[in-house]
């Protein structure tokens, strides 16, 4: 019996020693990526949506087309209306030019009569008639010019509406905003979409972010740009990656429920984001560990 107790005590002692010697990671968290939901920028029938889940799409690739026929017809109607307004403006401009020419001749005639009146070769009545003619023409020009202003404003309003339609037509051709992998597809060709309707979700999975939480005592050990080691579970134990600290929260928060035990969740911690180059094994939501490197001079091409 004593031998058995001694053996049991040895086993417990070894267990305690091994637990004390077992190293613990400096932080725990899950991988995430910057996800972008790409939405329709115009309303109409979706003629095509050339993306599929899991597909890698380059930035600037044309991925969707919304029917632009209604917009095109509206633009043609506005162009016709603008042409009508422009013809009215041209007619008024012609009238103004004619009146200005008449005013020019009237001023010359008034000048001639004034000289004749000074020499006693013209009467006061002739001088008054010439002066009145000049004033009448000036008023006519001013009156016609006042008719042109509303027409010019109307033409400008047509230009603005046409420019708006041009922008809507351009937005009907949707380009992929970032390089990344399609995570989800929310629409199909043939559907009628409205402005702002989500079409698909995309994220750059080549560069993952590990969000971990550290205690206040660990803050001095981390700085933005510092290289740390990130480990994930694999068939052969733990697989390690180089990671670069890209962000450290300036405010404390309670540890999220998904991270630690109930007792540890009441502690205040700081969130940290670590940029990790993905070799294809890292997935969104995958758990990982962070190990702070002692050698801060370690370089990485992250």
Let me know whether 221 and 272 are in one domain.
yes
Task: Report pLDDT digits (tens) over 228-246.
Answer: 999 999 887 889 999 999 9
The dihedral sign for the CA sequence 59, 61, 65, 69 = positive
What is the rounded CA–CA span in Å between residue 231 and residue 29? 11
What's the pLDDT score for residue 2?
Answer: 40
Let me know whether 78 and 145 are in one domain.
yes
Look at residue 136 and tell me if it is in a domain.
Answer: yes
Q: Sorting pLDDT into bands at 50, 70 and 90, what band is 264?
A: low
Q: What CATH number does residue 218 fall under?
A: 2.40.30.170
What's the pLDDT score for residue 175?
Answer: 96
Residue with tokens 């290289």: 227
Look at residue 12 and tell me if it is in a domain.
Answer: no
Let me know whether 124 and 251 are in one domain.
no
Let me know whether 84 and 157 are in one domain.
yes
Let me know whether 181 and 250 are in one domain.
no
Q: Are 38 and 225 in contact (CB under 8 A)?
A: no
What's the pLDDT score for residue 143?
Answer: 81
Let me know whether 55 and 180 are in one domain.
yes
Of the given ranges (47-56, 200-209, 262-271), which has the lowest mean pLDDT?
Answer: 262-271
Instruction: Show which of 152, 171, 190 is a domain's final residue.
Output: 171
Let me know whether 96 and 157 are in one domain.
yes
Of the given ranges (147-151, 256-260, 297-301), which has the lowest mean pLDDT?
Answer: 297-301
Q: What percent of the chain has pLDDT over 70?
A: 85
Average pLDDT, rounded, for the chain: 83
Against a cut of 0.85, is the pTM above it?
Answer: no
Look at residue 44 and tell me if it is in a domain.
Answer: yes
Let me know whether 179 and 53 are in one domain.
yes
Look at residue 123 and tell me if it is in a domain.
Answer: yes
Look at residue 4 and tell me if it is in a domain.
Answer: no
SS (H, E, C) the chain: CHHHHHHHHHHHHHHHHHHHHCCCCCEEEEEECCEEEEECCCCEEEEEECCCCCCEECCCCEEEEECCHHHHHHHHHHHHHHHHHHHHHHHHHHHHHHHHHHHHHHHHHHHHHHHHHHCCCCCHHHHHHHHHHHHHHHHHHHHHHHHHHHHHHHHHHHHHHHHHHHHHHHHCEEECCCCEEEEEECCCCCCEECCCCEEEEEECCCEEEEEEEECHHHHHHCCCCCEEEEEEEECCEEEEEEEEEEEECCCCEECCCCCCCCCHHHCEEEEEEEEEECCCCCCCCCEEEEEECCCCCCCCCC
Task: Report pLDDT digits (tens) over 109-142.
Answer: 889 888 888 888 888 888 888 888 888 888 888 8
Q: What CATH number does residue 81 fall under?
A: 1.10.287
User: What's the full length of the chain, in residues?
Assistant: 302
Look at residue 145 and tell me if it is in a domain.
Answer: yes
Look at residue 2 and tell me if it is in a domain.
Answer: no
Let me know whether 149 and 270 are in one domain.
no
Q: Sorting pLDDT into bands at 50, 70 and 90, what band is 180?
A: very high
Q: Are 290 and 274 in contact (CB under 8 A)?
A: yes
Arithmetic mean of pLDDT, 216-231: 91
Alpha carbon of 130 to those of 104, 111, 117, 140, 235: distances in Å?
12, 9, 12, 16, 108
Copy the structure tokens of residue 222. Answer: 């981390």
Domain span including residue 128: 69-171
Of the given ranges (25-39, 44-58, 284-298), which has the lowest mean pLDDT?
Answer: 284-298
Angle between helices 69-118 and 124-171 (to 10 degrees): 160
What's the pLDDT score for residue 294?
Answer: 53
Let me know whether 142 and 110 are in one domain.
yes
Into how many domains does the chain fold? 3
Let me know whether 44 and 192 are in one domain.
yes
Look at residue 88 and tell me if it is in a domain.
Answer: yes
């Amino acid at each position: 019996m004593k031998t058995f107790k001694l053996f049991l005590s040895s086993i417990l002692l070894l267990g305690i020693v091994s637990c004390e010697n077992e190293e613990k990671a400096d932080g725990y968290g899950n991988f995430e990526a910057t996800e972008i939901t790409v939405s329709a920028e115009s309303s109409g029938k979706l003629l095509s949506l050339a993306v599929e889940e899991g597909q890698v799409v380059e930035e600037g690739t044309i991925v969707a087309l919304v029917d632009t026929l209604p917009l095109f017809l509206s633009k043609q109607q506005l162009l016709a209306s603008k042409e009508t307004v422009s013809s009215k403006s041209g007619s008024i401009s012609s009238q103004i030019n004619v009146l200005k020419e008449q005013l020019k001749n009237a001023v010359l005639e008034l000048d001639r009569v004034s000289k004749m009146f000074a020499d006693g070769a013209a009467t006061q009545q002739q001088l008054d008639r010439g002066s009145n003619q000049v004033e009448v023409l000036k008023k006519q020009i001013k009156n016609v010019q006042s008719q042109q202003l509303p027409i010019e404003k109307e033409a400008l309003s047509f230009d603005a509406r046409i420019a708006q339609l041009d922008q809507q037509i351009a937005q009907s051709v949707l380009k992929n905003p970032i390089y990344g992998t399609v995570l989800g597809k929310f629409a199909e060709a043939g559907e009628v979409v409205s402005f702002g309707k989500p079409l698909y979700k995309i994220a750059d999975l080549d560069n993952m972010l590990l969000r971990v939480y550290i205690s206040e005592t660990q803050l001095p050990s981390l700085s933005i740009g510092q290289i740390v080691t990130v480990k994930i579970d694999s068939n052969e134990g733990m697989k390690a990656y180089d990671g670069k600290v890209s962000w450290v929260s300036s405010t404390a928060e309670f540890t999220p429920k998904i991270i630690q035990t109930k007792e540890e969740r009441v502690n205040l911690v700081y969130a940290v984001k670590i940029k990790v180059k993905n070799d294809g094994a890292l997935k969104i939501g995958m758990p990982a560990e962070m190990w702070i490197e002692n050698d801060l001079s370690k370089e990485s091409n992250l």
